[in-house]
Amino acid sequence: MSESPEQRVVLVTGAAGGMGAGHARTLAAAGWSVVLADVADCTPVLDEIVAAGATASAVSLDVTDRTQWDDALEHVRATHGALHGLVNNAGISRRLRFMDTTPDVWRQVLAINLDGPFHGTQVCAPLMRDSGGGSIVNISSIAGQIGYFSPSYSTSKWALRGLTKSAAGELAAWGIRVNSVHPGLVETPLLSGSDGFVASATASIPAGRLGRPQEVSDVVAFLLGHGSSYMTGAELTVDGGLVSNGTYHRIIEDMEGTL
Ligand code: NAD
């Protein structure tokens, strides 16, 4: 990527709220032109970014719909003329246990969390190649690194990790890097209504707290930028140590004074 910062263009899915909106704000502040894409209305986030002096636009996009992806790409081409970054962030979680997960829930979660990034990568890669290369960041989860009770969510995030590595190998020839980010528990609406779950999970986090959305956005910005120019097919875990040390952290806490 040889362009100056103000010429770099990134599309962020699920940018109307939660962490996607945070990624969009962070990237805009870092000089990116940001395309906000969501099924929900992105106007409030767009207005905020433009009011802060950055270049941005918004497009309506259901990531499960290939035709809408084609239309979104046309919007990027017509409005910004190039594309250097894609953040496949849109995702949903249905915290249903294995035997409670209906076929409809299974299909819906896989369609948004996995089909979405597949469509986005295939549709956006040619313009990224023609723009001089770029970086794709797939927002997976620690549920894509460990066993997680909700099969639709866990499977979608494990599969997104595989999609990332497959695309990284294939798109390297086009100068496009593809990496995944694996947030742990982060304070967003995705976790609203699950206070008991969060309290219990926090006891297994060595850092002793949930993550802040900005701490994930900073990693996304790193993977989009020149500082990670030799990274592709990699996965970055952003979880306060939950995956690497959660089990023994909890055991030692429980055994305090008796070890
Ligand atoms: P969120 O629910 O706050 O926001 C998700 C956004 O995606 C919303 O704006 C929603 O409108 C949009 N969206 C949903 N379906 C869509 C579709 N079909 N097409 C386009 N947009 C759609 O979620 P969040 O917590 O900000 O999570 C963002 C990403 O981070 C997700 O992929 C999620 O799985 C992942 N993640 C979140 C956590 C966490 O603790 N919150 C942890 C690990 C990973």
Instruction: Say which range, 102-111, 141-150, 195-204, 212-221, has the weakest mean pLDDT.
Output: 195-204
Q: Which range in 78-82, 191-195, 255-259 is most confidently predicted, on average pLDDT?
A: 78-82
Question: What's the pLDDT at 252?
Answer: 87
CB 156 within 8 A of CB 108: no
Candidate from 153, 156, 188, 198 with most ligand 1 atoms within 8 A of CB, to mutate: 188
Pairing of strands 9-13, 85-88: parallel
Give just the sign of the alpha carbon dihedral 143, 148, 149, 152.
positive
Can you tell me the mean pLDDT for 7-15?
96
Does 248 reside within a domain? no
Q: State pLDDT tens for residues 14-24.
A: 999 999 999 99
Q: Which domain holds residue 163?
A: 5-193+212-243
Does 198 reside within a domain? no
**Protein residue whose Cα sits closest to atom 31 of ligand 1:** 91
Mean pLDDT (the chain) is 94
Q: Measure 116 CA to ligand 1 centroid, in angstroms.
A: 12
Does 20 reside within a domain? yes
Can you tell me the mean pLDDT for 136-163?
98
Question: What's the pLDDT at 2?
Answer: 42
Does 82 reside within a domain? yes
Q: State pLDDT tens for residues 74-96.
A: 999 999 999 999 999 999 999 99
Q: Which of 222, 148, 147 is nearest to 181 (CA)?
A: 222
To the nearest 10 degrees (0 to 180), the angle between helices 18-29 and 213-224 is: 50
Check pLDDT > 60 for residue 1: no
Check pLDDT > 70 for residue 255: yes
CB 61 within 8 A of CB 37: yes
On the 0-12 / 13-18 / 19+ scale of CB atoms within 10 A, 34 is: buried
Does 109 reside within a domain? yes
pLDDT grade for 101, boundaries at 50, 70 and 90: very high
Give the three-class secondary structure for 106. helix
Does 254 reside within a domain? no
Question: What's the pLDDT at 211?
Answer: 97
Number of domains composing the chain: 1
CATH number at residue 217: 3.40.50.720
Check pLDDT > 80 for residue 249: yes
Cα distance between residue 174 and residue 133, in whole Å? 6
Question: What's the pLDDT at 42?
Answer: 98
Q: Which atom of ligand 1 is nearest to the CA of 211?
A: 40
Can you tell me the mean pLDDT for 40-55?
98
Active site residues: 153
Cα distance between residue 105 and residue 108, in whole Å? 5
**Protein residue whose Cα sits closest to atom 4 of ligand 1:** 18
Check pLDDT > 60 for residue 3: no
